[in-house]
Structure 1
Amino acid sequence: MIINHNISALNTYRQLSLNNSNAAKSIEKLSSGYRINRAGDDAAGLAISEKMRAQIRGLNMASKNAQDGISLIQTAEGALNETHEILQRMRELAVQSANDTNTDFDRESLQKEVDQLAQELSRIGATTEFNTKKILDGTFTGRLHIGANADQNLEISIGDMRGLALGMVGKTVVEVKGTYNKPTGTPTSENSIVPGEYTVKEVIEGTDKYYQLVDVNGNVVADSKNDTDLTDGITFKGKGKGSDGSSEELEFTHPVTSGKVTVKEDAAGTRVVTGTLIVENKGLQAGEYTIKEVGTGNYELQDSNGNTIATSADGQKFTSIEDGETELLTLSAAITGDEKVTVGGIDISSQTAANDAITAINNAINKVSTERAKLGAYQNRLEHTINNLGASAENLTAAESRIRDVDMAKEMMEYTKNSILQQAAQAMLAHANQMPQGVLQLLR
């Protein structure tokens, strides 16, 4: 019998420590719900389950990406629905204008509505956004990441749905300021240029060309030629004469070779003159713009919000600020000072123009329909993608659960066994500690 080393107590203590450790692990698993709480629990299982977790979380995020893609498509499609409504109304107006029961005044009223509708077409296309990204101006192309791994993308694009791309934008009208010069001396004849609206008419005589100012009754009240040579549409001399032989004149800051001229009289009796110059539309959306002189010989073309869209160094050729090369507006001569520019809608101002407009609007409607069909196809595909991602994530989650999650019933059995062994070891340790007491009997 020995007392220095109680082997039975040491053995019982070792078993008790082991039981305590096993019971603690069981408690940890039961409280966390996981079979693997650390790499030591199952090194291979941990590695496999972490890869599965990466896939599951990637699939869930890909599903959210696809849902965001559907939201983007629905935003674009909702805007295009209104674009269709506008085009249908424009077609209705074109059909109405194509009927010759309308007067010129009727057609002017119809044209005004078409101009406003064209501006709204361009506004919708230019301002429709999703998460600050413009989606209908022809610049949107992107990838929707619809998978858990790299390069699992769906490429989508949306065409330019603004008025210009749809062919619904018409003439560009530049407003030109002018002055009225009254004949000096006592008038010998009544002034012919009275307040009202006039049309500029081009006249060709042999190799010569000049311009006439025609009133609403078809009477020529002034022209741009004089006794010595022909002018370029800047100065129009009227029929009114002063006692000294001087003529009444309209003088413009820029050649007026087309469009209309308006003469108004303000409260002070001063005649205010405005001319309009119709030029080719090279790339401007329907709307209102302003030419501003920002320095000697430097000009900017600004939209209705004050944003600069084109610049010019000569006041004649205005190029886009996006690439510095695309011409948006070209005038026949340099502009001086600030002027207004208006871009209207498709022309329905005559029977022939309105008839042609019907075909053009039909083409625009078809173009928008094609784009909406493409967006609908994208959306249907993404809905199937979401369903597939959901099923994949569910099955992977089940597989990861089998590896990572604890079987609560089984672990409870293990914990109960360890708890009983722990109590038994404690009792046996108490008995083992009492065994050296027998040595005292030999010492009596």
Structure 2
Amino acid sequence: MQINHNIAALNTQNQLAQNNKATQGNLEKLSSGLRINKAGDDAAGLAISEKMRGQIRGLEMAEKNAQDAISMTQTAEGALNESHAILQRMNELAVQSANDSNTQQERDALQNEIDQLTEELSRISEETQFNGKNLINGDLSGEGELTFHIGANEGQNISVGIDDMSAEALGVSGLTELESAQEDIEIDGESFTEETVYKNGDDIVAVEVDDGGNTAVYNINDVTAQSNGDTPETFTIKAKEGAEALEAKEDGTYEVGINISTQETADSAIETIQTAIDNVSAQRSEIGAVQNRLDHTINNLSTSAENLTAAESRIRDVDMASEMMEFTKNNILSQAAQSMLAQAQQRPQGVLQLLQ
């Protein structure tokens, strides 16, 4: 028998330390609910789990982005819904004014309402905003299209554009608050009054024709003008029916306002208003299609995030039942090791009996 080194006690103490360490690890996993609490628990699993976590959080944010996009399009669609209502009312007024049972005073009253509705249509287009961005005044058309990031990775975007839905763009608003200068001109032997109008930096040429009070439509092609030595410019000008004014821009088709002050102009204005209604309907249809697409996008993002979360959980989360069994086993082993360590420490005392 030896007393300098109690090998049995040393072995028992080593086993006790291992059991205590295992028990501590079990407690850490059970208390956190995670199988991987540090890289040492599973280095490869930790790397995969962190990559999945980044993907999941990206998908969740992309879902929020899509929801914001829906909110923006809903705001625009709500404004266009009101624009539709205004145009429908304008159509009613035009149909009413086209009936010769109305007096001129009544037609003037109807025209006043048309003018007010036109101003409201313009106000809606200028003041409809989402987070400070104008939605239906043309800012979001062409190169101004909005880009929404709807994925967790680079380049997963969709673009949304909304055309100009102002009264001017829809062709139901004429020219107002203009500065002009007049002079006489002659075309093919006929005398007219030329009015050069300036608005927003554009040169606008209006020709007033005495046609017995009837509205006339003129197509003026390849018109050349030169002033103060400037380079001549060519314009193509087209006036719509129901017009009281037209705006001339280089190489384009020009929109005019609504005049229902006579039976003829009111009758012609109906077609112009119907065209505007069709344009708003087409834009609302596009917005509705985008909203439906975004709804499906959100559903897909939610499903993808759910599946990735389940996969990440299988890698990183602890199986509570299995871990509890391990904890119970290690706890019993620790208690047994403590008891055996006490027994091992008692063995050297037997040497004293030999010395007596």
Q: TM-score range by the shorter chain?
A: 0.7 to 0.9
* Structure exhibiting the larger radius of gyration computed from Cα positions: 1
Paired residue for 2:139? 139
Query: What is the identity, as a one-letter code, of the residue corresponding to 2:105?
Result: F
Q: Are residues 1:70 and 2:70 paired?
A: yes
Q: Are residues 1:161 and 2:73 paired?
A: no
Paired residue for 1:171? 175
Structure 2 alignment gaps of length 5 or more:
202-246, 249-255
Name the CA distance, whole Å, in 1 between partners of 2:177 and 2:10.
105
Q: Are residues 1:434 and 2:346 paired?
A: yes
Q: CA deviation at 1:358?
A: 1.2
Paired residue for 2:152? 148
Q: How has the CA–CA distance of structure 1 residues 283 and 110 changed in structure 2, closer, same or farther, with 3 Å as cutoff? A: farther
Q: CA deviation at 1:282?
A: 5.1
Aligned counterpart for 1:403 among listed residues 315, 323, 327: 315
Q: Which runs of 4+ in 1 moved over 3 A?
A: 173-176, 278-284
**Is contact 2:163–2:283 with CA below 8 Å preserved after alignment?**
yes
TM-score between the two structures when normalised by the length of structure 1: 0.62
Q: How does 1:11-410 map to 2 (within 5 A)?
A: 11-140=11-140, 141-173=145-177, 346-410=258-322
Q: CA deviation at 1:154?
A: 1.1
Query: What is the identity, as a one-letter code, of the residue corresponding to 2:311?
Result: A
Name the CA distance, whole Å, in 1 between partners of 2:115 and 2:102.
18
Q: How has the CA–CA distance of structure 1 residues 122 and 413 changed in structure 2, closer, same or farther, with 3 Å as cutoff? A: same
Query: What is the identity, as a one-letter code, of the residue corresponding to 2:349?
Result: Q
Q: Are residues 1:424 and 2:336 paired?
A: yes
Q: Please provide the CA RMSD for this pair.
A: 2.8
Q: CA deviation at 1:4?
A: 2.5
Count, aligned residues: 296
Q: Deviations over 1:314-343 (max 9, x none)?
A: xxxxxxxxxxxxxxx99xxxxxxxxxxxxx
Q: CA deviation at 1:361?
A: 0.8
Q: Deviations over 1:137-179 (max 9, x none)?
A: 1112211111111111111111111111111112324599xxx
Q: CA deviation at 1:378?
A: 0.4
Query: What secondary structure, in the 3-state scheme, does the structure 2 residue paired with 1:379 have?
Result: helix
Q: CA deviation at 1:442?
A: 3.5
Query: What secondary structure, in the 3-state scheme, does the structure 1 residue paired with 2:176 have?
Result: strand
Query: What secondary structure, in the 3-state scheme, does the structure 2 residue paired with 1:409 have?
Result: helix
Name the CA distance, whole Å, in 1 between partners of 2:179 and 2:39.
79
**Is contact 1:171–1:279 with CA below 8 Å preserved after alignment?**
no
Q: Deviations over 1:379-410 (max 9, x none)?
A: 11111111111111111111111111111111
Q: CA deviation at 1:283?
A: 6.2
Q: CA deviation at 1:360?
A: 1.1
Query: What is the identity, as a one-letter code, of the residue corresponding to 2:333?
Result: L
Q: Percent identity?
A: 63
Q: Deviations over 1:177-201 (max 9, x none)?
A: xxxxxxxxxxxxxxxxxxxxxxxxx
**Is contact 1:166–1:364 with CA below 8 Å preserved after alignment?**
yes
Name the CA distance, whole Å, in 2 between partners of 1:61 and 1:388.
13
Name the CA distance, whole Å, in 2 between partners of 1:173 and 1:104.
25
Which range moved further: 92-101 or 141-150? Answer: 92-101
**Is contact 1:128–1:135 with CA below 8 Å preserved after alignment?**
yes
Query: What is the identity, as a one-letter code, of the residue corresponding to 1:426?
Result: Q
Which range moved further: 124-133 or 104-113? Answer: 104-113
Q: CA deviation at 1:280?
A: 5.1
Name the CA distance, whole Å, in 2 between partners of 1:115 and 1:370.
24
Q: How has the CA–CA distance of structure 1 residues 279 and 94 changed in structure 2, closer, same or farther, with 3 Å as cutoff? A: farther
Query: What secondary structure, in the 3-state scheme, does the structure 1 residue paired with 2:159 have?
Result: strand
Q: CA deviation at 1:53?
A: 1.1
More helix by share: 2
Q: Deviations over 1:348-384 (max 9, x none)?
A: 2223322221111111111100000000100111111
Q: How has the CA–CA distance of structure 1 residues 359 and 101 changed in structure 2, closer, same or farther, with 3 Å as cutoff? A: same
Paired residue for 2:232? none
Query: What is the identity, as a one-letter code, of the residue corresponding to 2:286?
Result: K
Q: How has the CA–CA distance of structure 1 residues 122 and 94 changed in structure 2, closer, same or farther, with 3 Å as cutoff? A: same
Name the CA distance, whole Å, in 2 between partners of 1:48 and 1:281.
66
Query: What secondary structure, in the 3-state scheme, does the structure 1 residue paired with 2:174 have?
Result: strand
Q: CA deviation at 1:89?
A: 0.8
**Is contact 1:137–1:161 with CA below 8 Å preserved after alignment?**
yes
Query: What secondary structure, in the 3-state scheme, does the structure 1 residue paired with 2:117 have?
Result: helix
Name the CA distance, whole Å, in 2 between partners of 1:391 and 1:116.
49
Query: What is the identity, as a one-letter code, of the residue corresponding to 1:52?
Result: M
More strand by share: 1
Q: CA deviation at 1:431?
A: 1.2
Q: Deviations over 1:203-244 (max 9, x none)?
A: 99xx9x99xxxxxxxxxxxxxxxxxxxxxxxxxxxxxxxxxx
